[in-house]
Structure 1
Amino acid sequence: MSAQIVDQATLPVGRGPHPAASPFEKRVGEAVGLTAFGLYQIELPAGAETVAHDHRDDHAEDAYAVLRGSGWVVVDGEEIPVAPGQFIAVTEESSRHLRAGDDGLVFIAVCA
């Protein structure tokens, strides 16, 4: 058995291969050697947002876990407030993006 451990503080920030890649993401999955799904930590500064996207073509599923800060997940134009401790899933046909509030927004994204 083997394990790979990385400290998120050591990961570079920048756009990855995901269609909605953000300049604020840390590619955790890549760093630990995952190949079955994408795992990212996104650290949005106040007022920043991710790229609006859906998964109609690739049928991928997205899930998010809010760690710190506050903001909104915008689903098909509807703004829904999010806060630490919440988990979010969005159906593949719906357009979605996340926007940080005044204190920023840090969340984990899993894409499979």
Structure 2
Amino acid sequence: MSHVIVDAAAVPVGNGPHPAASPYDKRISESLGLTTFEVYQIELPPGAETVRHNHLDDRSEDMYAILTGGGWVVVDGESAPVAPGQFVSVSIESERFLRAGDDGLTFIAVCSGN
């Protein structure tokens, strides 16, 4: 097969293998058949948070692309607001999580090992 197209609306939510797996994750990479990196669409309801984590053990890098809503990325205890159109990276050793604001927060997480 030369390509795969996946509609995120058709992908069920549920915990994946990522250290920050949550019940809000849509495991897009599995639906696409990707094996060298992970892609999730995370749809946080208002006030919800992802799991606090770092990547010291697996040395994986994370990148977040904010799609809709708003909220905060919290890195080593410091909050920074995030909004649609922004991209965020966090160093491997830093503890991080995202928190949704009043309108919820939808973002894509791309996770790749070294």
Same fold (TM over 0.5): yes
| AA aligned opposite 2:59 | H
| TM-fit CA distance, 1:29 | 0.3
CA distance in structure 2 between the partners assigned to 1:6 and 1:86 by the alignment: 23
Q: Which whole-Å deviations, capped at 9, do the CAs of 1:60-89 have from their partners, x for residues lacking one?
A: 000000000000000000010000000000
State the 4+ residue runs in structure 1 displaced beyond 3 angstroms. none
Partner of 2:75: 75
Normalising by the residue count of structure 2, what TM-score does the alignment of the two structures yield?
0.97
Deviations along 1:27-74, one digit per CA (max 9) or x if unpaired, are: 000000000000000000000000000001111000000000000000
For the aligned residue pairs, the C-alpha RMSD in angstroms reads: 0.7
Q: Unpaired runs of 5+ in structure 2? A: none
Equivalent position of 1:46 in the other structure: 46
Aligned length: 112
1:22 deviates by 1.0
Distance of 1:41 and 1:83 partners within structure 2: 15
Q: Which residue of 2 aligns with 1:111?
A: 111
Equivalent in the alignment of 1:13: 13
AA in 2 matched with 1:52: R
Percent of pairs with identical residues: 69
Query: Which residue identity lines up with residue 9 of structure 2 in the other structure?
Result: A
Letter in 1 for 2:98: L
Give the letter for the 1:66 counterpart. I
- Could you tell me which runs of 5 or more consecutive residues in structure 1 were left unpaired when the two chains were aligned: none
